[in-house]
Structure 1
Amino acid sequence: MPVSFLTTEQRSRYGVFNAVPDVAQLGAFFRLDADDRRRAMAANGARNQLGWSVQLGTARFLNCFLDDPEDVPAAVVDYVAEQLGLQAADLKGYGSKEARWDHQEQIRGGYGFTAFEGEQWFALACWLYKRAWTTGERPIVLFDLATHRLVGAKILLPGVTTLERMIAALRERVAARQYALLAAAPSPRTRPPC
């Protein structure tokens, strides 16, 4: 069974901005309330304040943090900067600073996001295994369902290959179990007479 079932395009669209958020999305995910602004302004300097806020909105919108927090559409940076009374150019260089890691930890702790680690991995693996056993859904369907489940639970999305390999391995285990059950079933000649 192939481990890679996603196309190159599907992989490239995972966990990133695929389009500029519209006005409704900006308001829903990137609007900062008083508490958000207070937390952002506690960061040291305009670059960190804007970077912290952009990362908060990104986590809300994508359910993950970007490898480079500056890889967001300009409309997002403009929208967030305006709320803080900062300039969009203040974000420049934020992605190369160590503070971004501390900010991610603050956002996880302060906003109820969970990292995809041991317990979350095991819970998702159990759910996917049961689903694969009972439904026989295609890998891409399981991938989409798993992503939806993680987003709903505010568990930050793992890397695309992590999720892809997990699904492929679980489907392989399900297939092996099915084959073993079928192989153990008696044939018509070996069944005892009724």
Structure 2
Amino acid sequence: MPVEFLTDEQAEAYGKFAEEPTRPELERFFFLDDEDRKLIAKRRGDHNRLGFALQMCTVRYIGLFLEDPLAVPWQVVEHLAAQLEIEDVSYVKEYTERLKTAYEHAWEIRDAYGYHPFEDQAQGRRFRAFLHGRAWTAHAEGPKTLFDHSVGWLRRHRVLLPGVSVLARQVSEVRTIAERRLHTTVAKAAHRADPALPGDLVATLKTPEGRCWVRPRHWGRRRAGPVSWPG
């Protein structure tokens, strides 16, 4: 179902592999360094090593742990298997036979790499500060753009993504606050410039009942700036 300003397709694609990662993305998010390999080497069996690697790289790329750790493009599985020198990639299908294992691995990865739950109070304050600042300084951005920037911030700071409706609701609330703040700021500035200006502007919006609105002559004079004539 749609989530406020998101379409059905956008909401459905959130927190998933919407498409196969590009080659640069594979090299950035799915490359196993020495620290990664040390953790992976503690697993017993190729299926556990490959499954652990999948969860480790998926949370880097998407920003959360998937309910089904194997819900990834096969290209990703093959890319990790090649780095781990696992010839039979089909072994990975055994990884979810014991769900508790995948769950325990996710917790270990979270602790080892410093991922935070979205409910973490300290991270929550930092995120809200970012969100308010972005909404205030980038008024021209639509809610979807602000939503995308929010996802990027959470991923960069290793805060696990919340449900799509939770994040969309926060974005909407913060944009509403920013809009009210902007309205108040403009109204105060107009009043300082001319105490009668706010009332005059409101008066231009009023029309006699049953009549069409016609732009008053003085509206153009208020809106237009100084004119410089040639010659």
Shorter-chain TM-score bucket reads: 0.7 to 0.9
Distance 1:34 1:174 in 2: 45
Alpha-carbon deviations, 1:49-93, whole Å to 9, x = none? 211111111122223222211101111112212332332222214
Structure 1 residues 83-113: Cα deviation after superposition (integer angstroms, max 9, x where no partner): 3233222221434611212211221222233
Point out which structure has higher relative CO (alpha carbons under 8 A, 6+ apart): 1
Aligned pairs for 1:1-194 (under 5 A) are 4-86=4-86, 87-95=88-96, 97-117=99-119, 118-136=121-139, 137-177=141-181, 182=187, 188=196
Report SS of the residue matched to 1:63: coil
Aligned AA (1:88): V
Q: Report the Cα offset of residue 31 of structure 1.
A: 2.4
Moved more, 62-71 or 124-133: 124-133
Aligned pairs, number: 189
Tell me the TM-score normalised to structure 2 length: 0.69
Q: 1:78 to 1:119 in 2, by over 3 A?
A: same
Measured in 1, the distance between the counterparts of 2:34 and 2:83 equals 10
Distance in 2 of aligned mates of 1:3 and 1:20: 24
TM-score (norm. length: structure 1): 0.80
How has the CA–CA distance of structure 1 residues 34 and 126 changed in structure 2, closer, same or farther, with 3 Å as cutoff?
Answer: closer
Question: Taking structure 1 as reference, are residues 47 and 175 closer, same or farther at Cα in structure 2, changes over 3 Å only?
Answer: same
Q: CA RMSD in A?
A: 2.9
Deviation at 1:27, TM superposition (A): 2.8
Kept after mapping to 2: 8 A contact 1:3/1:169: no
CA deviation after TM superposition for structure 1 residue 167, in Å: 0.8
**What's the CA shift string for 1:3-54, capped at 9, x where partnerless?**
6111111112222212222343323322223432231121233322211111
The answer for unaligned runs of 5 or more in structure 1 is none
The alpha-carbon distance between structure 1 residues 90 and 146, as it changes in their structure 2 partners (threshold 3 A), is: same
Q: 1:3 to 1:59 in 2, by over 3 A?
A: closer
5+ unaligned residues in a row in structure 2: which ranges?
Answer: 200-231
One-letter amino acid matched to 1:114? H
Distance 2:138 2:26 in 1: 37
CA distance in 1, matches of 2:197, 2:151: 47
